[in-house]
Amino acid sequence: MQIYIVKEGDTIDAIAGAAGMDPLRLAFENQIEAPYRLVVGQSLLVTGGRENGTQSRLEGIQISDEQTGPIIMNGYAYPWIDEDVLTETCRFLTSISVFSYGFTETGELIPPSGVGEKNVIQEAKRQNVIPVLVLTPLGSDGRFNNNLVSSLVGSLEIQQNLIRELWSVVQEKGYGEVDVDFEYVLAEDRELFADFVRRLRIIMNLFGIRVTVALAPKTSRDQRGLLYEGIDYKALGEAANGVLLMTYEWGYTYGPPMAVAPINMVRRVVEYALTEIPAEKISLGIPNYGYDWPIPYEQGVTKAISIGYTEAIRLAVDHGVQIYFDETAQSPHFRYWQYGIQHEVWFEDVRSMHAKFGLIKEFGLAGTGYWQLMRLFRANWLLAEHEFLIQKGTSFSSQLQDGSPE
């Protein structure tokens, strides 16, 4: 297996021929539709010469055949995920996180919107994937509400009510894990938040249910900012069975154009996390999206739109522009003009994913957590399947040999 970078004059037929594989398979695996147009700088995952036993004549980035693992392969999905995307993606997952359950100030659960929760759980179980209940303090405006967090962590009575409701839903619907995704936790709630996660984990573990927590991407213990000050890596790492580093959103909707998950910044977060949390408890957050910004960027005015891998490639092809690769950020990007406005696009491709997989291998992390699974990125999953041993069908309860929580 290798990653090939498209050059001037390349065609699907020529690339497939040099690789010794069927061109239709090459197009399918990279989600290239007829008339199979390519763009200079595009990264293709090449999985052939298996058809005729020939050696590939392509000069690309070679991918080692040695697998690492077993690892956690997780991703978040809204209940209204497309059924075909869900079915294909579950093949590569160990768990899928349903986003999300909220709660009231009295600790009553609020189920996710949409009618697809049951379908996600059923498909997950059909493919030996563990369904994960995601708990968030989202207010009626759809934003994270730190006052709601304060009410919860400051009251044992509210916590007990919420945990009872969580247990009831977990049992009724068949969830195998609970993920706590609280963002913008106030600094004064730092210890109380960790105490809540610990309390939830102890109770859920008694019944074989794993508890994880999503962590804002910190690079130091005392990092300033509302996103970071209420998040204690050491305490939360000890309180939960596992953590997800939300290593994305450096490039974001209202920020200046840049990589969503620049590998140099992701590395800094991982290196700090490892000083507080064991590697076997850490999963790396990976974005399955990019952004398209109109430029020049003006703070408070410019707003980017979120796009997927196939949308980004289509834009580059339609506008006939070359894709470039930032070696420091390990991320692809390009610019194009439309209706007199210039745009800048940063997104993820198999080359940037390969770099992130490299971090997981380098530091021996537990696995990954994708935000989010709503868009299919087939080449990414094929690459992940090649690089990692994805062990499916192993429940957390089976790991508690003596029946006691961690």
74 with 98: CB under 8 angstroms?
A: no
Q: Which amino acid is at 37?
A: R
Query: Which of the following is catalytic: 29, 177, 183, 344?
Result: 183
- How do beta strands 43-46 and 2-5 pair? antiparallel
Return d(Cα 355, Cα 359) in angstroms, integer.
Answer: 7
Only one residue has tokens 């909707």, namely 253
What DSSP string runs through 163-230? Answer: HHHHHHHHHHHT--EEEE---S--GGGHHHHHHHHHHHHHHHHTTT-EEEEEE---SSTT--STTTTT
What is the distance in angstroms between the CA of the first residue and the CA of the last residue of the chain?
A: 39
User: Any catalytic annotation for residue 123?
Assistant: no
CA 64 to chain CA centroid, Å, is: 23
Q: Could you tell me the maximum CA-CA distance found in the chain, to the nearest angstrom? A: 68
Return d(Cα 4, Cα 16) in angstroms, integer.
Answer: 11
CA 173 to chain CA centroid, Å, is: 24
Helix, strand, coil percentages, rounded to 5, for the chain: 35, 20, 45
Only one residue has tokens 């573990």, namely 205
Alpha helices, DSSP H, located in 107-155: 117-126, 146-153
Q: Which phi and psi (to 5°) does residue 396 adopt?
A: -65, -35
Sheet holding 324-326, edge to edge: 305-307, 290-295, 341-346, 331-338, 324-326
Return d(Cα 330, Cα 308) in angstroms, integer.
Answer: 17
Output the CA–CA distances (angstroms, integers) from residue 282 to 87, 125, 206, 401, in the order listed. Answer: 27, 24, 22, 22
Which are the catalytic amino acids? 183
